[in-house]
Amino acid sequence: MTELRVLGDPDPDRPADPEPAIYPNWESVYQDNVIGIYQLVFRKVGNSADAEDLAEEVLMHTLKTLRLPAPVPTVRAYLVKTARTVLADHWRRHYAARDAASELEKMPIEITTNPDAADRAQRLLSLLPDHFRNILELRFLRGYSVREAAGELGVTESNARVLQFRALRKAAELEREVLR
Amino acid sequence: MKESADRVARFVDDLLHGRRPRRFEATPEEAEAMTAAAGLAASRVGADLPDKASLDRIHKRLSESLDESPPVDRQLSRRAWLRTAGAAAAAVVVGVALDEVVTRHQESGGGAGTATLLPDTGSWRPVAALTDLPSGHAMPISTASLDAVIINDGGRISAVSGVCTHLGCKLQPDDNNRKLNCPCHQTAFSWSGKVLYYRLKAAPANLPQIPSRVNNGQVELYIV
């Protein structure tokens, strides 16, 4: 009688897995992770100049701390841990943003390319009330200046800035409470 | 409220113009809005892709800090590498960053450098039309004499051996991660042939380079 085996169960005939994969040297850690780390920090700072500096800081600290060769999961876990600390420190040091920094230290982050970032932003925008969504779409998706957005919405520039501020705070709240 | 809105607006302007934002002491409310702005700015299609110059600068600074070899050794390594590779290979590395050339010779643990395959009786042979190899893609090809992977990295064409240096399994390109994966054991190589990681007792060798060029719209390899 044929023995049934559930898909995903380990194959009994297959030898046990050897040790996890190994990064042999710093070049291999760099090659395999630099883009993922850059994208991870970019999503938290929104600009390339800071993202470049912080990605380098994350890699430099990790590579100076860990002894190589080292298992891939160990290195990646350390990179993520370091990224979280470096990002929190960035927001604390440059903007005195203690709450935002603490939030970052708790937030689950991972090294992945983020093909669904645009979808996620659209989903976030769709949850906002119309007047908040409109200003953020004009500014972030269509690249309008404050003046152009104000003209489109029929409000003063000063009111457009206030609207943008309130819309961003609401977006942060939704991100924290609904999308995470 | 107006002052906060103005400061956050200035921060958003900096992000949207690709500038490093000016630093200031933000209130918790301002910081909350700014983190949301950073996320939205990063979600624009393609915004979070680093440019090559950025990656080169990161690599250079890591290299300066982590490589212990004195600069004079690096120069010798480069000359030795070029001498070994010969004129044909030298032609195909035009445009390869110096750091990359140097590290091929310096790698430890990752298979002691990279060899270039220069057959005694080789000639330039077309293996694919350039139009079949768009930028950002790696393509396995087989000839009577070898398996190779040809790569178009932002317009720069290169080729490496298409078989794993461990036990000879055929490598599978993973274009999204710019890797060549060995399907047999958990080993991966970069597009330049360097070992990225391995799950073996000892590090396998890097992949041999194969001299390549583009001629009349055809990707050609120097092979037998």
Q: B97 and B188 share a domain?
A: no
- Would residue A42 count as lying in a domain? yes
- Would residue A38 count as lying in a domain? yes
Q: pLDDT-based confidence at A149, cuts 50/70/90?
A: very high
- Into how many domains does chain A fold? 2
B25 touches chain A (CB under 8 A): yes
| Rounded average pLDDT over A148-166 | 97
Taking the C-alpha atoms of residue A92 and residue A32, their distance in angstroms, rounded to an integer, is 29
Q: For the segment A31-73, what is each residue's pLDDT rounded down to a tens digit?
A: 999 989 999 999 999 999 999 999 999 999 999 999 999 999 9
**Could you tell me the mean pLDDT of each successive run of 10 residues in chain B, 224 residues long?**
93 95 94 94 84 92 79 36 32 30 35 71 90 94 90 93 90 91 88 86 86 92 90
- Would residue B115 count as lying in a domain? no
Mark which of A106, A133, A161 sits at the end of a domain: A106
A155 touches chain B (CB under 8 A): no
Q: Which residues of A touch B179 (CB under 8 A)?
A: 32
Q: What is the pTM of this model?
A: 0.67
HSE-up of A126 (CA within 13 Å, CB side)?
Answer: 7
How large is the ipTM? 0.86
Q: A28 and A96 share a domain?
A: yes
Taking the C-alpha atoms of residue B39 and residue B125, their distance in angstroms, rounded to an integer, is 49
- Tokens of residue B194, six digits: 């360097």
- Would residue B112 count as lying in a domain? no
A110-119, A127-136, B6-15: range with lowest mean pLDDT: A110-119
A66 touches chain B (CB under 8 A): no
- pLDDT cut 90: percent of chain A above it: 65
Q: Which residues of A touch B107 (CB under 8 A)?
A: 24-25, 27
Find the domain containing B12 and state its range.
2-42
Which residues in B17-133 belong to E strands, given as ranges? 123-129
DSSP string, A37-106: HHHHHHHHH-SHHHHHHHHHHHHHHHHHHS-SSEEHHHHHHHHHHHHHHHHHHHHHHHH--HHHHHHHHH
Q: B204 and B183 share a domain?
A: yes
Checking if the pLDDT of A84 tops 90, the result is yes
Question: With an 8 Å Cβ cutoff, are B187 and A91 in contact?
Answer: no
Identify the pLDDT of residue A9: 52
Identify the pLDDT of residue A105: 82
Q: pLDDT-based confidence at A77, cuts 50/70/90?
A: very high
Q: Which residues of B touch A161 (CB under 8 A)?
A: 2, 5-6, 8-9
Find the domain containing A145 and state its range.
117-179
Q: Which of B 73-132 lie inside 8 A of A, CB atoms?
A: 103, 107-111
Q: A31 and A93 share a domain?
A: yes
Residue in A113, A118, A145 closest to B45 by CB: A118
| Rounded average pLDDT over A145-161 | 96
